[in-house]
Structure 1
Amino acid sequence: MSKTIWIVVANRVTARIFAADNPLGAIDEVETLLHPESRVPEQSLVSDKPGRTTDRAGPGRQSSDPDTTQHAREAALFAAQIAATLARARTEARYGTLVIAAPPAFLGVLRKALDAQTQNTVTLELDKDLAHLDARALRARLPERLVRSET
Structure 2
Amino acid sequence: MSNMIWVVVANRVTARIFATESPLGAIEEIETLLHPESRVREQSLVTDRSGRTERSSAGRQQSDPDTTHHERETSLFAAQVATTLGQARHAGRYGTLVLAAPPAFLGALRKALDAQTRSLVTLELDKDLVLLDVRALRTHFPERLVRAQV
TM-score interval, smaller chain? over 0.9
Q: Name the SS for the 1:141 alignment partner.
A: coil
Instruction: Name 2:141's counterpart in structure 1.
Output: 142
2-structure distance, mates of 1:36, 1:149:
33
1-structure distance, mates of 2:75, 2:121:
19
Instruction: Name 1:37's counterpart in structure 2.
Output: 37
Q: Name the SS for the 2:49 alignment partner.
A: coil
2-structure distance, mates of 1:122, 1:149:
8
Q: Name the SS for the 1:16 alignment partner.
A: strand
Counterpart check, 1:25 vs 2:28: no
2-structure distance, mates of 1:146, 1:2:
15
Instruction: Name 2:96's counterpart in structure 1.
Output: 97
User: Over residues 61-88 of structure 1, what are the superposed CA-to-partner deviations in whole Å (9 max), with x where a residue is unaligned?
Assistant: 2321111111000000000000000000
Q: Once the 2 structures are TM-superposed, how far is the Cα of residue 47 of structure 1 from its aligned partner?
A: 4.1
Q: Which runs of 5+ in 1 are unaligned?
A: none
Are the structure 2 counterparts of residues 29 and 148 from structure 1 closer, same or farther at C-alpha, using a change threshold of 3 Å?
closer
Q: Which runs of 5+ in 2 are unaligned?
A: none
Instruction: Name 2:72's counterpart in structure 1.
Output: 73
Per mean C-alpha deviation after superposition, the further-off stretch among 134-143 and 42-51 is 42-51
2-structure distance, mates of 1:21, 1:94:
11
2-structure distance, mates of 1:55, 1:122:
50
Q: Name the SS for the 2:139 alignment partner.
A: helix
Instruction: Name 2:119's counterpart in structure 1.
Output: 120
2-structure distance, mates of 1:138, 1:52:
47
Mapped contact 2:122–2:148 kept (Cα < 8 A): no
Are the structure 2 counterparts of residues 5 and 149 from structure 1 closer, same or farther at C-alpha, using a change threshold of 3 Å?
closer
Are the structure 2 counterparts of residues 125 and 50 from structure 1 closer, same or farther at C-alpha, using a change threshold of 3 Å?
same
The code of the aligned residue for 1:18 comes to F
Instruction: Name 2:7's counterpart in structure 1.
Output: 7
Instruction: Name 1:49's counterpart in structure 2.
Output: 49
The code of the aligned residue for 2:16 comes to R
2-structure distance, mates of 1:150, 1:119:
13
Instruction: Name 2:108's counterpart in structure 1.
Output: 109
Aligned residues: 150
TM-score, scaled relative to structure 1: 0.94
